[in-house]
Chain A
Amino acid sequence: EDQVTQSPEALRLQEGESSSLNCSYTVSGLRGLFWYRQDPGKGPEFLFTLYSAGEEKEKERLKATLTKKESFLHITAPKPEDSATYLCAVLYGQNFVFGPGTRLSVLP
């Protein structure tokens, strides 16, 4: 069964404590993987697109990587303003599916 999962469900970090979020997928014919950030009560905001295994994208404290089975969103030295829910989405075949998200809290 095609599936997109994210782990952990929630993550609490101290300011400056680096970590990684995971997006795993079991789909055929991956055409792209997308990361979005969503603040409470707001619409998701696009972060990155990854198209092939080995690809990496960076933006400020965030770096996204892609393998054949999963993607990681690495957060280096996070700040409280990085607190949000991070969603991955997978484009495969005719389908575009969002994962359930990881809720990140960065404490000062």
Chain B
Amino acid sequence: DSGVTQTPKHLITATGQRVTLRCSPRSGDLSVYWYQQSLDQGLQFLIQYYNGEERAKGNILERFSAQQFPDLHSELNLSSLELGDSALYFCASSPRGGGLQNTGELFFGEGSRLTVL
């Protein structure tokens, strides 16, 4: 158990819909990262937050947004869903911040599997 909690574990929805994925980082970790993993793309970095502020952005679509709340949990919002958005979405946390340049060991949650029909 990594200590990172993600909900829901599975989500099935239709094209055009909007979903919210939630992540609680390990106790004491200030950084939260979101990754997307699909069969043909591997692990793709989406976005990082550190102590409530956005620190780094990867290949995140404009239809996707995220935020980190004062209690350090984070939410990833996916809207106007398309079939191609079906994937595993992972949250990871790290005690280090300051952007990816300080990334060391990441602790991943079990992921949220999104299926868009």
Give chain A's interface residues, CB within 8 Å of chain B. 31-32, 34, 41-46, 49, 87, 91, 93-101
Contacts and interface: CB of A to CB of B under 8 A. Distances in A.
Interface of B: 2, 4, 42-43, 45, 56, 88, 90, 92, 99-101, 103-111, 113
The winner among A43, A87, A91 for most chain B CB atoms within 10 A is: A43
Contacts of B103: 91, 96
A41 B106 CA distance: 17
B111 A34 contact: no
Contact of B100 (A41, A43, A91, A99): A91
The winner among B56, B88, B103, B107 for most chain A CB atoms within 10 A is: B103
B42 A43 contact: no
B105 A43 contact: no
Contacts, number: 49
**Closest 6 pairs (CB-CB, A-B):** A43-B108, A98-B43, A96-B100, A100-B42, A46-B105, A96-B103
A43 B104 contact: no
Contacts of A45: 2, 108
Contact of A34 (B105, B110, B113): B105
Contacts of B56: 94
B42 A98 contact: yes
Nearest to A4: B42
A14 B26 CA distance: 37
A107 to B, nearest CB: 23
A99 B42 contact: yes
Nearest to A48: B105
Contacts of A49: 104-105
A3 to B, nearest CB: 13
A43 B99 contact: no
A52 to B, nearest CB: 15
A95 B101 CA distance: 7
B101 A43 contact: no
